[in-house]
Copies of this chain bind each other. A is one copy, B any other.
Amino acid sequence: MLSVFSDEYFMKEAYKEAIIAFEEGEVPVGAVVVCQNRIIAKAHNQTERLNDSTAHAEMIALTSAFNHLGGKYLPDCSLYVTLEPCVMCAGASFWAQIVKLVYGASDPKRGFDRLSENILHPKTKVIPGIMESECRYLIDDFFRRVREK
């Protein structure tokens, strides 16, 4: 059973968003923003639907969280995302000043960590590898199907 308010609990919610993306034919990445143990924003990748290659789950979730809280920073918030953020999304988390970044599968090709850890805000704690195998399988399965088409 999942403990309420654990990293696994919130990652499971991000994973549900990734599943929605998968079903919509989008690269299956999902994200949630959590503030004081409450989910204040959920989003999934919408690059195809919006015809916008910057419409990543994290960007949409962060903007939704700003709207929800009415402030331009998210200093008490954590970002959960099923795939290691790219440089753009890690840079967005810097501006948001999030306190914790939790991700599932790593992304050796486009993940922020391949370039520099300094992309993140100094106060952002990083927790990688939560539900890693499920998140990885979903991405791999998506691209396998794309290649078979």
**1/0 per position for A78-93, CB-CB distance to B under 8 A?**
0000000011111110
Within 8 A of B (CB), among A11-58: 47-48, 50-55
**Contacting chain B: which of A99-107, A112-120, A122-130, A131-139?**
A112-120
Complexed CA–CA distance, A11 and B116 (Å): 30
| Cβ-neighbour of A96 out of B54, B63, B67, B94 (below 8 A) | B54
Copies in the complex: 2
Please tell me if the beta carbons of B47 and A52 are within 8 angstroms of each other in the complex.
Answer: no
Give the shortest distance, in Å, between A71 (CB) and chain B (any CB): 6
- Determine if B52 and A66 form an interchain contact, defined as CB atoms under 8 angstroms apart: yes
Residues of B within 8 A of A51 (CB): 66-67, 70-72
CB < 8 Å: which of B63, B88, B90, B91 contacts A52? B63
Complex contact B53–A72 (CB within 8 A):
yes
Q: Is A95 in contact with chain B by the CB < 8 A criterion?
A: yes
At the interface, yes or no: A73 with Cβ under 8 Å from chain B? yes
Is A77 close to B, CB under 8 A?
no
- Chain B residue numbers with a CB within 8 Å of A54 are 59, 62-63, 66, 92, 95-96
